[in-house]
Amino acid sequence: MNGFPILSLITFLPVIGMIIILFIPSKMIKEIKITSLIITFLQIILAVVLLGNFNYNAGGIYEVSSFQFIEKFRWIELTGLSWIGTIKVDYFLGADGLSLPMILLTAIVSFIAIISSWNISKSIKGYFALFLLLDTGMMGVFVALDFFLFYIFWELMLLPMYFLIGIWGGPRKEYAAIKFFIYTLFGSVFMLLVMIALYFSAGETLADGRVVYTFNLLALMDPANYLDNGLLSPLNPNNYRLAAYIALFVGFAIKIPMFPFHTWLPDAHVEAPTPISVILAGVLLKMGTYGILRISYPIFPEITEQLAYYIALFGVINIIYGGLVALAQKDFKKLIAYSSVSHMGYVLLGMASMSTTGITGAIFQMFNHGTITAMLFLIVGVIYDRAHTREINGFGGLANKMPIYTGFVTVAFFAAIGLPSLSGFISEALVFVGAFGVAEIRTLTMIGTLGILIGAAYMLWTLQRIFFGEFNTKWENVLHDITFREYAMLIPLTIIIIFLGIYPSAMLDIMNTSVNTLVEFIANGAQNIRISGM
């Protein structure tokens, strides 16, 4: 793989697809759809190639040499800008055990979301073009190792998402789209501030006395690169670092979404068309937790340790609060949206443990939530396409009318409940194992385990209300069992969920070395900074 820019290819392939689509006349609907399908399928192939060439023993995280598929060259260089000195931005891509699961997830979910987009009827050309642009943005976030580049991808994904919800959405689409947009932008501003502050805090001094600042994430992780008087320098710990951490965290937390920044999510989900909900829950939410692990943790190890308790606290609030609010929902899609809030809480809790088991669980939970929730939203889509309502109490007895659909629903629901032998169990269990091992958050973890009861309650109750009991004959002619296209979406996800439930090592081994590296790096980093600060 040496020298072949596979990460660039997997990232920008959708843009190539977008350009092709822009050249296809908008009447050629089928060609547009098939182009998108091929592009996302090629993306899966590339992801599999990545997996095949992946070195399981390379840690990555902070060390350039153990990152894989690296591409690095100077992208922007402006010299002699008065007091700023030289601005350098690298085009720096690379993958490690933290990003590969997310790359795989993005490829899989995008492909399935394209299949799910087949029955989009409004301005198809624009839809698929924007969708592919969104795909590039998401993939880029997971491969970028330069903060500036990361930020560009982060913002790149925002715009197509805004239009995809705002144009192809439901009745209150404008409200949902603008809420999503402004909320995320609000977070981005914080991220931008921290990024600039970091930029001016670290850099190398050249022979002629000029200081060259850097956006390179790996360079920012090394305390040695910080300037003595740098604002955010770990060499002289100060409250600015704490403030920067919190600001950055808020930027990421909005995306997760973490309580109390979560209210854009139910609105966005309810209004978004099914495939966009799938993308939103399947991939977008992970960008927040990924960002924390990739950027906040290794750059601010000592603050992470300091605030771990609060991260766990918010994780547990997400779990319990999201679950209880889900229990009260009457709209099927809104219920799934709140279940996402709850399930992302597990990710936060696992991360807060800063242990191998916990962080492994968190990343695995990110992947599993991506596949399971994607499946749940597809399931909502199946019923909404037919009945044009999502009112849970409006159905009943569907098990007899749509037995195969019910089978898929049962698998997805029990995966969400965390039934052993399905993937969700492993990640939730690892999160609890990791978090319980940390004395400070043990009590919180015990409270968090109530989430598995609440989760089972709202899922089984929903299963009962929609699928069991007497069939509501109102739907006699409307509801039919699933079609070939729906099989094509649901079967791959089902297989992944069952396979990873029985053989989790397939995924855990990918992230293992990196997680161990990360855990050790944070522990050592935090300790070194504490010593230097004394």
Partner 1 sequence: MSETANINISIAILLLPLLGFIIVLFFGKRFPKIYLAEVGIISFAFILSLVVGYSKLTSFLHQDLLFSFTWINFGNVPKIGELTVDLGIKIDNLTVIMLFVVNLISMLVHIYSIAYMEGDKRYSRYFSYLGIFTFSMLGIVLTDNLLMMYIFWELVGLSSYLLIGFWYEKQSASDAGKKAFLTNRIGDIGMFIGILILFTNYKSFSFDFIYSQIANGILPYGSEVWLTAAGILVFMGAVGKSAQFPLHVWLPDAMEGPTPVSALIHAATMVAAGVYLVARIFVMLTADAMLVIAIVGAVTSLFAATIALTQNDIKKVLAYSTVSQLGYMIMALGVGAYTYAFFHLVTHAFFKACLFLGSGSVIHSMHHEQDIREMGGLKKKMPITYYTFLISTLAISGIPLTSGFLSKDGLLAGTLAFGELTGHWLIPIMGFLVAFLTAFYMFRLVILTFHGEPRNQHKFDHAHESPFVMVMPLVVLSVLSTFIWYTPNPIGATDGWFATEWVQTPQTVVPETSRFDFMVREPHEASVGEHGLIAHSEKYEHAMHWAHYPAMILSILLGGLGILLAFTMYQWKKISPDNIADKVKSLYKGSLNKWYVDEIYDASFISGTLGLGNILSWFDKWIVDGIVNGSATLTRVFSKISGWFDTYIVDGFVNATAFISGFIGLNFKRMQTGKVQTYIVLVVFSIIVLFFIIGPF
- Interface residue with partner 1 among 55, 400, 483, 527 (CB under 8 A) is 400
CB of 460 to partner 1, least distance (A): 5
Cα three-residue angle 498-282-461, rounded to 5 degrees: 65
Q: Does 505 bind partner 1 (CB under 8 A)?
A: yes
| Binding of residue 506 to partner 1 (CB under 8 A) | no
Q: Does 55 participate in binding partner 1 (rule CB under 8 A)?
A: no
156 in Cβ contact with 140 (< 8 Å): yes
Binding of partner 1 by 183 (CB under 8 A): yes
Q: Count residues near partner 1 (CB under 8 A).
A: 58
Question: Closest Cα partner for 36 from 114, 147, 121?
Answer: 114
Q: Which is nearer to partner 1, 123 or 443 (CB)?
A: 443
Task: Name which of 11 and 360 has its Cβ closer to partner 1.
Answer: 360
Q: Return the range that interacts with partner 1 (CB under 8 A); candidates 99-107, 117-125, 205-213, 353-361.
A: 353-361
Tell me: does residue 361 bind partner 1 (CB under 8 A): no
For residue 221, give the nearest of 250, 198, 238 by alpha carbon. Answer: 198
**Does residue 420 touch partner 1 according to CB under 8 A?**
yes
**Quick check: 62 binds partner 1 (CB under 8 A)?**
no
Task: Tell me if 357 sits within 8 A of 430, measured CB to CB.
Answer: yes
Q: How far is CA 25 from the centre of its chain?
A: 34
- Exposure pattern of 219-236 as b/e (b: 16+ CB <10 Å)? bbbbbebbbeebbbbbee
CA distance 309 to 303: 11
416 near partner 1, judged by CB under 8 A: no
**Smallest gap, in angstroms, from Cβ of residue 312 to partner 1?**
15
Structure tokens at 300: 């601010």
Separation CA 296–CA 310 (nearest Å): 15
Nearest distance in Å: CB 325, partner 1:
5
Among 333, 467, 493, 510, the residue binding partner 1 under the rule CB under 8 A is 467
Q: Which residue carries 């006349």 as its tokens?
A: 25
- Tell me if 248 contacts partner 1 by CB under 8 A: no
333 forms part of the interface with partner 1 (CB under 8 A) = no
Q: Kindly give, in sequence order, each residue whose CB lies less than 8 Å from that of residue 272, ignoring residues fewer than 6 positions away.
A: 164, 165, 168, 169, 170, 173, 176, 280
> CB-wise, 128 or 367, nearer to partner 1?
367
Which residues in 190-203 are b (16+ Cβ under 10 Å) and which e?
bbbebbebbbebbb
Residue 436 within binding range of partner 1, rule CB under 8 A: yes
| Tokens coding 190 | 């914080």
Q: Is 394 in the site for partner 1 (CB under 8 A)?
A: no
For the chain, the first-to-last Cα distance in angstroms comes to: 46
Is 54 a binder of partner 1 (CB under 8 A)? no
**Mask for 121-160, x = binds partner 1 (CB under 8 A):** ----------------------------------------
CB of 335 to partner 1, least distance (A): 11
Q: Using CB under 8 A, which of 327, 411, 482, 497 touches partner 1?
A: 327
Quote the tokens at residue 512: 């293992």
Binding interface with partner 1 (CB under 8 A): 179, 182-183, 259-260, 262-264, 321, 324-329, 355-357, 360, 397, 399-400, 414, 419-421, 425-426, 432-433, 436-437, 445-446, 449-450, 452-454, 456-457, 460-461, 464, 467-470, 504-505, 508-509, 512-513, 516, 519-520, 523
